[in-house]
Structure 1
Amino acid sequence: MRHLLSLPQLASRAFSTTTRQMRNKVLERQKVFLEDNGLPVHIKGGTTDVLLYRLTMTITLAGTAFSCYWLLRASMPRGKAH
């Protein structure tokens, strides 16, 4: 029972910022995204952003093609069964 009573205290320690100081990276990231280097904003984050963008575009195009295929197939009349 004693362990259950100490659970809220342990949870607050786990999420406390006083034990681990976190560095604010917002200004560094703003510099990267505000830099005028001719890149679109969705790929300024580097290789990871480029890969995620290409994966998203691939999934979107494949889903669109798949949907169009099934819409076309559903719109065609079926042949007569023997």
Structure 2
Amino acid sequence: MYRNVLALQQVARRSISSSARREVKNRVPEQQKLFQEDNGLPVHLKGGPADALLYRTTMTLTVFGTGYVLYELWNAAFPKKKP
């Protein structure tokens, strides 16, 4: 049984270490050009529609979160009187 475990370890180690690596294209220069060009957009919106959606979602959550915190502070400062 111990021999089977050793064989399994060796097969697992071999398949992981000898697997071919996938070549990935370096897109950093393209992204640098996109973000450094002067097109009048703020940097947090230069990434396209996904950045705009993320920005709007973040701002919406921030506004609602601030409103909720103020509401809870008001309730803590002025608790309702029991009859």
Q: TM class by shorter-chain length?
A: 0.7 to 0.9
> Which runs of no fewer than 5 residues in structure 1 stay unpaired?
none
The amino acid of 2:66's aligned partner reads T
Match of 2:8 among 3, 7, 12: 3
Q: How much does 1:24 deviate?
A: 0.2
Distance in 1 between residues matched to 2:34 and 2:18, nearest whole Å: 34
Change (3 A) 1:61 1:8: farther
Distance in 2 between residues matched to 1:51 and 1:20, nearest whole Å: 31
Report % sequence identity.
45
Structural mapping, 1:4-43, within 5 Å? 4-13=9-18, 19-43=21-45
Partner of 1:60: 62
Give the TM-score normalised by the residue count of structure 1: 0.81
Partner of 2:50: 48
CA deviations over 1:27-70 (Å, ceiling 9, x no partner)? 00000000100000000000000000000000111100000001
Distance in 1 between residues matched to 2:16 and 2:58, nearest whole Å: 37
Q: How much does 1:13 deviate?
A: 5.0
| Structure number with larger C-alpha Rg | 2
Aligned length: 78
More helix by share: 2
Give the TM-score normalised by the residue count of structure 2: 0.80
